[in-house]
Structure 1
């Protein structure tokens, strides 16, 4: 009976049994209250949101260059996608990157596990409070549990130099299109987005080309924001080349600024 008790992570806390609330912090934040309840509740909620940002920034600030891997939590351990996740996590770690996932099971576990197989690598999980409990997988070196999705999403983008998506569901699609929107609108720059699994992603790309590009909803160069591959090594190479190009650009900007400041006035 004890092991069947409900359990939920809430930030840094664990609650079980009757202590598990009927809704999550995100649900309560987004709910429409009565005419004046929000005046008394939301200002205090802002303090909790601020605390989550501070905790995330503090824990992740000293990470080495990192790559976020997305994919389905429902992927079975004996599936090809799980094996791809293992190989991808291992290859990224061997290339010198920390591996960040949502910290859950399935593809996320596979990528964290692959990274853990490399000596000195760092495996990170950024979890989220859900109505149904999804525990942090056992292959995470640094795990942070968030109450609010938007805080967690900020951490994925701020501390990653690229996203790689394996087959997944709504959550994976949400992160994928948010990343593409940020790159398209230049909120982030030099940020590669790689989709691994052409059989899975091919239909989506066909729809993007026919229904979005075909009706003028996106420009032809927007398709260049996405790379589809079945090769783990190619996915990692794309990340590495983009990272090096960004480093070169940063160095050129520093040298140009230094040269400009040295000019006689």
Structure 2
């Protein structure tokens, strides 16, 4: 490939092409180990850029309606069953009144954005700078490009009320287990997590039960944090029901606290 004419990369709000594309990403430079004193000269300035990404993300996403984040592989082809599953899911979420947030890329992410947009819903993509070319898909209505993974992850959790996870690879697993850990430790509450695709996810659930649980590495109720289904409509019903139950429980707690104070 002719680097000068074809290669391009998004870096936050910037677009660079050809010879202007650096040899590493912002995340890589942040985490790479250099001379022990380098952080004295570079890291304090990075803090300002990181702060700016948080401010930009908070500002753009603060007025979203209730939203659900959909994760899944960027490698899923348009004609694959998982792509159709993602489209159906995006449509069902939009019809239930949820904005749909994805990583903004191709594959399953594009499918969910497409389903949401075509159903008249709000379609959001939170992209990330990668060492290979990847742009926001054409079905994103609101898109933000991030330099740092951890800033992007914060946005996924802060502005979502649930996660639905389609088949995917390391990136998808990373987001899945981070969400489960946040729920398990009480950092986020009443946050449904749905695995969509029984044949794909059942072996993982079997390992969780037969290895993690069997060896006492997790609590007996922890596997219940994951809801498995093949039906996008059931996934949405599970999310809606969970949120309705959470609202009822919140009102009961408030009424009980008020009665105790009286």
Shorter-chain TM-score tier: over 0.9
Shift of 1:17: 0.3
Structure 2 distance, partners of 1:82, 1:72, is 10
Shift of 1:199: 0.4
Say if 1:171 and 1:209 are closer, same or farther in 2 by CA, change over 3 A.
Answer: same
Shift of 1:251: 3.3
Shift of 1:232: 1.0
Task: Give 3-state SS (helix, strand or coil) of 1:69's partner.
Answer: strand
2:3–2:19 contact (8 Å) kept in structure 1: no
Q: Deviations over 1:125-167 (max 9, x none)?
A: 0000000011100000000000000000000000101000010
Shift of 1:255: 4.3
Structure 1 distance, partners of 2:10, 2:181, is 30
Show the counterpart of 2:186.
Answer: 186
Structure 2 distance, partners of 1:41, 1:2, is 28
Shift of 1:206: 1.0
Show the counterpart of 1:171.
Answer: 171
Q: Where in structure 2 are the equivalents of 1:1-265 lying within 5 Å? A: 5-119=6-120, 121-256=121-256, 263=262
Give the gaps of 5 or more residues in structure 1.
Answer: none
Task: Give 3-state SS (helix, strand or coil) of 1:237's partner.
Answer: helix
Shift of 1:117: 1.1
Q: Deviations over 1:58-99 (max 9, x none)?
A: 000000000000000000000100000000000000000000
Task: Give 3-state SS (helix, strand or coil) of 2:155's partner.
Answer: helix
Shift of 1:257: 5.3
Give the gaps of 5 or more residues in structure 2.
Answer: none
Shift of 1:260: 5.9
Query: How many corresponding residue pairs?
Result: 261
Structure 1 distance, partners of 2:256, 2:136, is 45
Q: Deviations over 1:170-218 (max 9, x none)?
A: 0000000000000111111101110011100111111111110111111
Structure 1 distance, partners of 2:220, 2:260, is 37
TM-score w.r.t. the length of structure 2 is 0.96
Say if 1:255 and 1:109 are closer, same or farther in 2 by CA, change over 3 A.
Answer: same
Structure 1 distance, partners of 2:156, 2:254, is 27
TM-score w.r.t. the length of structure 1 is 0.95
- RMSD across aligned positions (CA): 1.6
Task: Give 3-state SS (helix, strand or coil) of 1:114's partner.
Answer: helix
